[in-house]
Amino acid sequence: MPVQREVDEELALHIELRTRDYVARGMTPTEARAAALHRFGDVALVEQECLHIGRARERDMRRAEWWAELRQDLAYAWRQLGRSRGFTAAAVLTLALGIGATTAIFTVVDAVVLRPLPFDEPSRVVRFRATSANAGWEKGNFAPGEYGGWQREGRSWERLALVYPGDFTLAGDELPERVVGERVTRDYFAVFGVRPALGRVFGADEDRPGGPRVVVLSDRLWRRSFGASPAVLGRTVELNADRYQVVGVMPPAFDFAAQAPELWVPAAFGDDALRNLGGRFVEVVGRLRPGVAPATAEAEALVIARRLWATRASSREDAAGTVRVRRYADDLTSDVRLQLLVMLGAVGLVLLIACVNVANLLAARGLARGRELAIRAALGAGRGRIVRQLVAECALLAGLGAAAALALAAGGAWLLVRLVPPGVPRVEQAAVDGRVLLFTLGLTLLTTLLLSLTPARQTDGGDLLGALRRGGRAANAQVRHRARTALAAGEVALALVLLVLAGLLIRSALVLRRVPAGVDGAQVLTARLRLPAARYREPARVTAAFERIAEAAAAVPGVRSAALVSRVPLTGMNTGVDFVRVGDAAAVERGAAVASNFRIVSPAYFRTMGIPVRWGRDFTAADRAGAPRAVVVNEALARALSLGARPQGARLWSTNGAFWFGADRPADLVVVGVVGDIRDDGLREAVRPEAYFPLAQAPEEPWSWIERSMLVVARTGGPPALAAPALQRAVRAVDPSLPMYDVRTMDARLADATAVDRFYTGLLAALGGAALLLAAVGIYGVVAHLTRLQVREMGVRLALGATGAGVVRLMLARHLRPVAAGLALGTAGALLAARALEARLYGVPPTDPATLAGAAALLTVVAAVACWLPARRAARVDPTVALRAD
């Protein structure tokens, strides 16, 4: 009874009884009713109070009834699933794989891309990048003078900081330790808005030439090398043979970069250095003023930069150069964001395929339970209650799958963190936490919704008697079979999308493997050395020490040749020297100077690294201090300067040589050789101009900013790793205090150049394989079920003379039609999805017909086999048995 009606009747009865009582006492009916109403009080107020109480009681009763029915539904669903253990195991395992894989990928995506950086107002923290179409730079560095100009003139940023990354040698109790660090200006930590966990950061008095040497440690280095002792504050440590005082320790959350620095020291750049526009080797970060957009800051930075560029000899790089200002979080993940989001989308497709498979299982099970559902309806269960019961089973399946998925996700995330190649920021923070649990809960609810669509449509209407007479088979079974066939076609379409994406990445990786790096890394060992500045301050002494090391390395037994180089290939470092050809002075005025990388090398470097000399010669002992300055150029620089194939007598002049060579007008450089091009920014990037300087004639200035560091490269007659101990002994014979670190084969460094591509290709290929397997299982299940329903038809055909082969052909033709429809739909989807991968493809168009055809052919073969197996069984049925089948 409605609450309003119940309250009205109760109040009317109360007043009626009181009225009768007053009439019995001698009042007239009118007087009695008036007295009863007066005695009762405000009827409207009492009515509202009663309605409130009644409705609250009704809500409580409905809630209790709902929970009781839900418990009944879940208990019944649990019993039903327990009776069908095979079905339950298959469904739960399928969902666990789909939800688990999706959650594992999301765990990494959340840690790397979605979580905000641990800064104060991270949206205001930006990074400046130099780009140049001519120089091929997209993430170039700046000259200190550009930072100085922005610091003096800029209005869009609140704070600005210069960053100069580098390696440090930390003296320990036993062996020295190589530590990645940064030289930064005093506002660096204020830019990020992060306070130290212990102590303080350095200030203006320390960030100046000749200022006190202080160092701030990362939490990771503090724990690893100093035992997490608070007593580290004030302690003196030895870095690069110089003594620094520890003044602070940063919190753990500050380790956010892909290769997070472990210590920070003052950059200590003077005014002259901050006006120098010669070399581009520093990074710039800043904090924007409130309300200033990155685009506004970018426009101002470019105006200031172009005004500064106009004061130096122009180059092609300046002519095509610009400045990009991006939010730090976007810049940090720019190289991995697209790939990770594509992987998340791909694994989402796998989850959809898994849901379709389970939906088909539920559909088949629902057809078998038709009689049961009809009986329940006949006994009074409404359609809503029956649907809710079926949804409870779907929710229970999804919940069981999600519970198993969490264990798989934790293991999968752990494995992914260890398989992800270097260069992915914050990936080590990936873990199953509250955010991931909420995501899994959302996936579970979504899965329940998707699975519930099938049983909700399978409940019969009001024809209970007909349903019972049919034994539970639905009157619209043909429509439902078509729905299951459509689901199978959808599986094929989704699987084709994944296979095409995986195929494109595989083909791209194969093309990338054939790209020549320009060096022969087989049997080449590389190791870095650093001379301590305290004992090697004079450039002449630095050069002499490295020459002795090169000679000692070449004399190691088993070493065929050895040399030293300031940077090995594929390091991607931008150190631009601007060159013009002597005799083409007008090139400066028209902005035609060519920006070039440069390396300092010792004799025999080209032979050791397998870099071919196209013309001229390698450096020799004759290229010493006092002799004409020699330079070897690569083919790209020779082309850019129009030197010709045989640049006999060609001379170069550096327009920014005052920075590199320490003179207002350095001597001309004589081109003595032309060598083959190497890849310096990765195999995907275009070859860049390159100049090589002989070690004995190396400019003095670079020794300070490369921190007297070189790499020894040695070509061995056997496995390179076996030569490492002997090479270390040879180095220590020159200076017992020199450690070798970053000891790796050149092949390993070359492999790193494709590590990211291999990882994403392998992951997407695995997802494509899973999709192919799930699609095959789904197609097989649908065809097998439909074949069982068509046994009588096949028996009639066989009885009328059809051959088994004819029956197989008929079944294949019938069941491959939805596969063909799925292929058509999947092709359209793949062409759209492939656009998202275009930036990661190399040498392969996103519409590559060979990949599309190959993926479609593979899926067709697998689908044909999945259809052929049940068709073959149908062709072998005994016609007599088939004709008796109902």
Judging by DSSP bridges, how do beta strands 125-132 and 321-327 pair with one another? antiparallel
Top pLDDT among 102 and 475 is at 102
Q: What is the DSSP string of 357-416?
A: HHHHHHHHHHHHTHHHHHHHHHTT--HHHHHHHHHHHHHHHHHHHHHHHHHHHHHHHHHH
Could you give the CA distance from residue 282 to residue 533 in angstroms, rounded to a whole number? 21
Please indicate, yes or no, if residue 462 is contained in any of the structural domains. yes
The helix (run of H) or strand (run of E) holding residue 268 is: none
Q: Which residues contact 626 (CB under 8 A, 6 or more apart)?
A: none
Could you give the CA distance from residue 737 to residue 721 in angstroms, rounded to a whole number? 22
Q: How many structural domains comprise the chain?
A: 4
CB atoms closer than 10 angstroms to residue 7: 20
Asked if 360 and 393 sit in the same domain, the reply is yes
Token reading at 643: 């030197």
| pLDDT single digits (tens) 98-137 | 899 999 999 999 988 888 888 889 999 999 998 865 555 5
Please indicate, yes or no, if residue 351 is contained in any of the structural domains. yes
Could you give the CA distance from residue 618 to residue 692 in angstroms, rounded to a whole number? 10
Could you give the CA distance from residue 389 to residue 69 in angstroms, rounded to a whole number? 9
Token reading at 344: 């998340």
* pLDDT at residue 47 is higher than 90: no
Question: What's phi and psi for 246, nearest 5 deg?
Answer: -75, 125
Asked if 570 and 618 sit in the same domain, the reply is yes
Last residue of a domain, one of 288, 319, 350: 319
397-410 average pLDDT score: 89
* pLDDT at residue 168 is higher than 70: yes
For residue 397, the model assigns a pLDDT of 86
| pLDDT single digits (tens) 146-157 | 999 999 999 999
The per-residue pLDDT of the chain, averaged, comes to 82
Question: What's phi and psi for 253, nearest 5 deg?
Answer: -65, -15
Question: What's phi and psi for 355, nearest 5 deg?
Answer: -65, -40
Please indicate, yes or no, if residue 827 is contained in any of the structural domains. yes
Could you give the CA distance from residue 243 to residue 262 in angstroms, rounded to a whole number? 17
Q: What is the pTM of this model?
A: 0.77
Place of tokens 């049919």: 470
Amino acid type, 778: G
Pick the closest to residue 529 from 373, 690, 735 (CA basis): 735
Question: What's phi and psi for 344, nearest 5 deg?
Answer: -65, -40
Could you give the CA distance from residue 676 to residue 660 in angstroms, rounded to a whole number? 24
For residue 136, the model assigns a pLDDT of 53
Angle of CA points 654, 656, 661, to nearest 5°: 75
For residue 513, the model assigns a pLDDT of 83
* pLDDT at residue 706 is higher than 70: no
Asked if 415 and 484 sit in the same domain, the reply is yes
* pLDDT at residue 210 is higher than 80: yes
Token reading at 303: 């105006």
Please indicate, yes or no, if residue 94 is contained in any of the structural domains. no
The helix (run of H) or strand (run of E) holding residue 719 is: none
Lowest model confidence (mean pLDDT) among 230-239, 261-270, 679-688, 760-769: 679-688
| pLDDT single digits (tens) 227-281 | 999 999 999 998 877 889 999 999 998 887 767 899 999 998 888 878 877 677 8
Q: How confident is the model at residue 475 (pLDDT cuts 50, 70, 90)?
A: very low
3-state secondary structure 297-348: HHHHHHHHHHHHHCCCCCCHHHHCEEEEEEEHHHHHCCCCHHHHHHHHHHHH
Asked if 742 and 763 sit in the same domain, the reply is no
Please indicate, yes or no, if residue 791 is contained in any of the structural domains. yes
Cβ neighbourhood burial of 442 (10 Å; 0-12, 13-18, 19+): exposed
Total residues belonging to the chain: 886
- For the chain, the C-alpha Rg in angstroms (whole number) is 38
Exposed e or buried b per residue across 843-855, where buried means at least 16 C-beta atoms within 10 angstroms of its C-beta:
ebebebeebbebb
Last residue of a domain, one of 705, 727, 747: 747
815-824 average pLDDT score: 86
Top pLDDT among 766 and 798 is at 766
Asked if 807 and 780 sit in the same domain, the reply is yes
Please indicate, yes or no, if residue 67 is contained in any of the structural domains. yes
Cβ neighbourhood burial of 381 (10 Å; 0-12, 13-18, 19+): middle
361-376 average pLDDT score: 65
Please indicate, yes or no, if residue 556 is contained in any of the structural domains. yes
Residue 563: C-alpha distances to residues 551, 620, 711, 847 (Å): 8, 12, 8, 46
Asked if 724 and 759 sit in the same domain, the reply is no
Top pLDDT among 466 and 301 is at 301
Asked if 530 and 459 sit in the same domain, the reply is no
Question: What's phi and psi for 618, nearest 5 deg?
Answer: -80, 170
3-state secondary structure 640-680: HCCCCCCCCCCEEEECCHHHHHCCCCCCCEEEEEEECCCCC
Angle of CA points 326, 332, 337, to nearest 5°: 100
313-332 average pLDDT score: 74
Pick the closest to residue 524 from 417, 617, 607 (CA basis): 607
Exposed e or buried b per residue across 399-408, where buried means at least 16 C-beta atoms within 10 angstroms of its C-beta:
bbbbebbbeb
Last residue of a domain, one of 715, 747, 779: 747
Among 258-267, 602-611, 816-825, name the most confident range: 602-611
Lowest model confidence (mean pLDDT) among 355-369, 390-404, 632-646, 722-736: 355-369
Strand partners, 326: 127
Asked if 648 and 766 sit in the same domain, the reply is no
For residue 295, the model assigns a pLDDT of 94
Asked if 398 and 453 sit in the same domain, the reply is yes
Token reading at 213: 């040497």
For residue 420, the model assigns a pLDDT of 86
Judging by DSSP bridges, how do beta strands 177-184 and 613-616 pair with one another? unpaired
The packing angle between helices 3-24 and 43-83, to 10°, is 140
Asked if 621 and 706 sit in the same domain, the reply is yes
* pLDDT at residue 462 is higher than 50: no
Strand partners, 675: 613, 634
* pLDDT at residue 298 is higher than 90: yes
Q: How confident is the model at residue 79 (pLDDT cuts 50, 70, 90)?
A: confident
Q: Cα 861 to the chain's mean position, in Å? A: 33
Among 149-163, 404-418, 437-451, name the most confident range: 149-163
Q: Which domain holds residue 41?
A: 3-83
* pLDDT at residue 364 is higher than 80: no
| pLDDT single digits (tens) 243-254 | 899 999 999 988
The helix (run of H) or strand (run of E) holding residue 209 is: none
| pLDDT single digits (tens) 825-878 | 999 999 998 888 888 888 899 999 999 999 999 988 988 888 887 777 777 666
479-506 average pLDDT score: 83
Please indicate, yes or no, if residue 456 is contained in any of the structural domains. yes
Token reading at 832: 């759209």
8 A C-beta contact, residue 627 and residue 729: no
Asked if 287 and 177 sit in the same domain, the reply is yes
Pick the closest to residue 526 from 764, 723, 262 (CA basis): 723
* pLDDT at residue 666 is higher than 90: no
Asked if 767 and 643 sit in the same domain, the reply is no
